[in-house]
A and B are shown apart, each in its own frame.
Chain A
Amino acid sequence: MPERKILAAGLLVLWLTLPGVHAQTAAPANPVDPAAVQALKDMGAHLQSLQRFRVITELSGERVLADGQKLQHSATAQMDVQRPNKLRARMTSARSERQLIFDGKTVTLYTPAQKYYSSVDFTGTLADLVEQLEERYGIEVPLSDLFVWGTPLAPLDKIESAMNAGQDFIGDDLCDHYAFRQGKVDWQIWITASGKPLPRKIVITSRADEARPQSVHLIDWNLKPAFGETTFRFTPPKGASKVEIVPRKAK
């Protein structure tokens, strides 16, 4: 018994005297670390300043079956972007390939396998485009966050928890790792630590389902892409036919 007491006292002394230990074990008063939010602001500002880029992302998504078992699926997307209003996205999986082309006036969704396309007139920025495609047609654009971070569409004042989670390598890039909570969503981001801040990995966990389905994006950047005359133009290939696009129905 006395031995144990001495040990406990010794441990306490050790714990109190070790520099930094006390500060690290106590939970911070503010769950939102302002530096983590500032990192998002800096990244958003940099993203909005990029005039042209190509990103390639590999995505693992999850779906939860009736009994709670989770299945993971894979998809890839390549996005060619020229601000303010040009985009070509190619979304591919084993199940489908789709292309989304926006030339500043018309946005087209094309499925090469069936040679079907749907076009609608649209003017606005890429942030407007991703919002309106979702709102009007229920079409989600890959990595739409890249167009809204750094704009009023991505307010940062609703974040309930923000942490710096240390550093990680994503590929060859050393990244700062941040973790956030907001509503039913936990999410993490890995932002390049040196040079201009770019997101290299994003993980989103849903707490709306107890199985917590999660998506993982790995993102590769090309900031000097070679775009041609036709990169953002859609010309219906021979034999392609136009298909009516049905606006999203209210449930």
Chain B
Amino acid sequence: MKNSSRHLFLASLAVLVLAGFALAPLAEAAGRGGGHGGGGHHAGGGNRNLEVNNNKRDVRTNNVRSTSVNNVNVNKNVNINVDNNRGCCNSGWDNDYHPIATAAAVTATVAVTSAIVGSIVRTVPAGCVPVNYGGYIYQQCGSTWYQPQGNQYIVINPPY
């Protein structure tokens, strides 16, 4: 019994060691392959000619809850007393997902505006005004607000 378990242990150790050797070149190759290092062609923006299409995106992916906080800078969040839930952006320079609504709010919104929050359009109506709020430029069209996403617009709740 003792002997057999020791054998088993040695055998698995051997497998581990062998696997380690087998994996090493793979890991190296992955490291050389670019990964994130050195800021490859797409880091910092680069030249993006690809058209982004979010038509197929499930509307539920916008249903961000109010306690969700995107902390991307340490000191802002631990030392400077910032109200993270300022109803604007849930913070973060990368957080261009505007929390649109819960199911209940969607229903409520439908009643008061012509455009359904969360819906996506290719163009905005005439007479909209661009507004920079929280570092993002929206299109305000009366009581309806649009946020550009790629070359489309998503209807959002008013950011303020």
Contact = CB atoms under 8 A, between A and B. Distances in A.
B25 interface: no
A145 B137 contact: no
Given A66-B63, A215-B72, A251 B87 contact: yes
A132 to B, nearest CB: 11
Interface in A180-239: 182-183, 185, 187, 202, 204-206, 208-209, 211, 213, 215, 217-218, 220
A139 B135 contact: yes
B75 A95 contact: no
Interface string B43-74: 11110100010100000110111011111111
B2 interface: no
Contact of A204 (B61, B67, B77): B77
B75 A145 contact: yes
B95 A61 contact: yes
Nearest to A171: B37
B73 A143 contact: yes
B9 interface: no
A41 to B, nearest CB: 14
A93 B88 contact: no
Contacts of B71: 185, 204-206, 213, 215
Contacts, number: 211
B102 A63 contact: no
A22 interface: no
Nearest to A218: B36
Interface stretch (A5-13, A23-31, A74-82): A74-82
B135 A98 contact: yes
Interface in A146-177: 148-149, 153-155, 158, 171-172
Nearest to A56: B39
B132 A65 contact: no
B160 A64 contact: no
A138 B89 contact: yes
A18 interface: no
Given A95-B96, A206-B71, A213-B68, A243 B150 contact: no
A106 interface: no
Contact of B78 (A59, A66, A185): A185
Nearest to A202: B74
A233 to B, nearest CB: 18
A77 B46 CA distance: 10
B160 A249 contact: yes
A248 B149 contact: no
Given A94-B52, A109-B132, A116 B137 contact: yes
A35 to B, nearest CB: 19
A248 B134 contact: yes
B68 A142 contact: no
A128 B110 CA distance: 42
Interface of A: 56, 58-59, 61-66, 68, 71, 73-78, 90-98, 109, 111, 113-114, 116, 118, 131, 133-134, 137-145, 148-149, 153-155, 158, 171-172, 182-183, 185, 187, 202, 204-206, 208-209, 211, 213, 215, 217-218, 220, 241, 243-246, 248-249, 251
Given A95-B97, A153-B75, 8 more contacts: A56-B43, A66-B65, A91-B93, A94-B52, A95-B150, A140-B76, A158-B78, A204-B71
